[in-house]
Structure 1
Amino acid sequence: MSDNSKSLFPDFLLIGAGKSGTTSLHNYLDQHPEIYMSKIKEPYFFALEGEEIVSREDDPLNLYDFPWAVTDLEEYQKLFEPADPSQKKGESSTMYLYGDKAPSNIKKYIPDVKIIAIFRKPSERLYSRYLHLAREDNLMGTTFDKVLDKESIWWLRNDLVREGFYYKHLSRYYELFDKSQIKVFLYDDLRSDPERVIKELYSFVDVDPDFNPDTSIRFNQSGFVKNKILDKLYGTDSLLFKSIKSVVPGMYSKLKENLIIQKQLNKLRGKNLEKPGIDQEIEKTLTHDIYYEDTKKFQELIGRDLSHWFK
């Protein structure tokens, strides 16, 4: 591989877990002037290299619904061409946490890469995923109580129940990469002390840790849509933004990157979401029956006391 080709790979990867603060970390990284983040969030290259993208018509259960994925090496490297030579390059793909091919492909192409992961109590993460699917009107007729049915879609799709087996997924990275290349955060820390997390994040990727990003935006909120008409107007999948993206893609990109606009949009979207609490019996079953053994090993792997996750 030529030096020029090497320069078109990311210096760091944010690998997940989904619904654990990954979107927030991605945006804090993206705001830093010394960092260039791929404009396609979640290109999934290392998990899906060489695979054909399945159409939605051929995938009724949304098992392979990744129309934005970049599966060709040359196209993937083009994602980083706009970066300034002095900038650190990165991308975020939650599928790298659980994708079968991801760790070995990453090791093959960028063995010195830095790997960032953030984790949330598995039952909370799963319920947040449920609310996210509800927001997208993508529940496929299922309800949250079905998470306990191992024959259901909740166990068939890798990004639902199975994503929460953190030890199983992350231990593969510790086997392939030096421990110094892996930085693990907890969602709890991001909520209680975001300034410390952000400084550690910037220090880990070797950029100025004293840069202060805008942390006032609540990214990627989830819940049941209250008013579908308002959602079609300014929701995440609104017809207005779809039209702008198709007709004036440059304007759409500027809207996405404008923090003031994003802040106002997220406020409006949040007010239009209803977030019922998780059923406590289901939560207990998930925590103590389904995720318990994996979580015990996970806390040893990362050297953190996670006893509060068992309460």
Structure 2
Amino acid sequence: MTQTSNNARDPRLPDFIGVGPGRTGTTWLHEVLKGRVNLPAGVKETDFFTTNYSKGIEWYAHHFRDADRVRPIGEVNPYFGFPEAAERIAIHIPRCKIICSFRNPVERIYSAYKLWRHYTLTNDPLDQFLVKVPQVIEVSRYATHLPDYRARFGEERVLVLLNDDLRADQQAYLDRVCDFIGIARYPVPASAAAGELINSINDLPRFPRAARRARKFMYWLEEKQAYATSNFLEQAGAWKLVFGGGPKFPPLDPVIEAHLHELMRPEIDALEQMIGRDLSAWKSPRAKSSPAVPRAAASQGR
């Protein structure tokens, strides 16, 4: 593939990408940006810079075929933690703005596991699952992968957001995004401001066998780019019905939680230094979910 940039003669490509990782508020960000920026036509995540890269840049650009030339073009897709994705984005969109959204890594890991269980992708207990799917931990190594994005795109073109801040003040969180991507600030839509965060996972499928068949059908629709059909089924509540309604997930096992905190502690310590935030709430099991604050403010509060 040849290097591509955003100008009038080239395919329309994103001005910004929210690389995630997943389970950190990426769906919320996609939903609140709808109608304010140009997003991929018909689908939230193209997965181009990871699994669909062999389909070519024209395939990717086709998702932005309806984009106007007034609003920025963007995509929210969890590419974080996949080094090849960062490299490919830099090749094709070297001046792309990057949004990294981070969440307490232990919370994120358990949330990712629940998502896999929700979609019947695994039936393993969490400890066995993490051995079989180590990528779930790898994409939570924020301090390991953030420097790569900063080196490729420049620190001023990489925005770091914390899920703690999203939970504490959605409007301030959205304002930072608007300022970064260069659009006017606007109120958080009521649909996003009320209730639980979008795409939270709380229960297992009521009928696992039916859910497995539905998942295969959902993936088939995506492969055929039958986005309208898949979106219709989602809006009609079909996916929610088939993938939910079963037993509720229990709290994270304290023994596994303690192990994960110990495992991720070096990453959290390193991230604190990189972004200048107090991440104490991430460092121990059962810590209260409180917003991370700038180091200066934390020091003044002692």
TM-score, normalised via structure 2 length: 0.78
> What does residue range 7-26 of structure 1 map to in structure 2 within 5 Å?
8-26=12-30
- Identity across matched positions, percent: 26
Q: Is the 8 A contact 1:225 1:272 kept in 2?
A: yes
Asked if 1:287 is matched to 2:258, the reply is no
Describe the superposition over 1:11-59 as per-residue Cα deviations: whole angstroms up to 9, x where unpaired: 1001011111111111111x2x3311113322222335654xxxxxxxx
Distance 1:27 1:256 in 2: 17
> What does residue range 188-207 of structure 1 map to in structure 2 within 5 Å?
188-207=164-183
Aligned twin of 2:207 = 228
Describe the superposition over 1:191-245 as per-residue Cα deviations: whole angstroms up to 9, x where unpaired: 121111112112211112124323137422324425228x86xx98497x89999
Aligned twin of 1:61 = none
Q: Is the 8 A contact 1:17 1:163 kept in 2?
A: yes
Asked if 1:298 is matched to 2:300, the reply is no
Tell me the CA shift for residue 117 of structure 1: 1.3
Distance 1:227 1:164 in 2: 30
Distance 1:250 1:285 in 2: 40
> What does residue range 95-110 of structure 1 map to in structure 2 within 5 Å?
96-110=79-93
Tell me the CA shift for residue 112 of structure 1: 1.5
Amino acid at match of 1:154: V
Supply the RMSD in Å over aligned alpha carbons: 3.4
Q: Is the 8 A contact 2:11 2:58 kept in 1?
A: no
Tell me the CA shift for residue 82 of structure 1: 0.6
- What is the SS of the residue equivalent to 2:117? helix
CA distance 1:107–1:265, change in 2 (3 Å): closer
Distance 1:5 1:254 in 2: 32
Describe the superposition over 1:231-287 as per-residue Cα deviations: whole angstroms up to 9, x where unpaired: 86xx98497x899999xx5863663796xx67x986997765612100112111111
Aligned twin of 2:62 = 78
Distance 1:147 1:242 in 2: 22
Work out the number of aligned pairs and report it: 276
Amino acid at match of 1:179: E
Unaligned ranges ≥5, structure 1: 52-70
Aligned twin of 1:128 = 111
CA distance 1:244–1:129, change in 2 (3 Å): closer
- What is the SS of the residue equivalent to 1:297? helix
Tell me the CA shift for residue 123 of structure 1: 1.0
> What does residue range 174-213 of structure 1 map to in structure 2 within 5 Å?
174-213=150-189
Asked if 1:219 is matched to 2:198, the reply is yes
CA distance 1:28–1:277, change in 2 (3 Å): same
Aligned twin of 1:145 = 127
Amino acid at match of 1:282: I
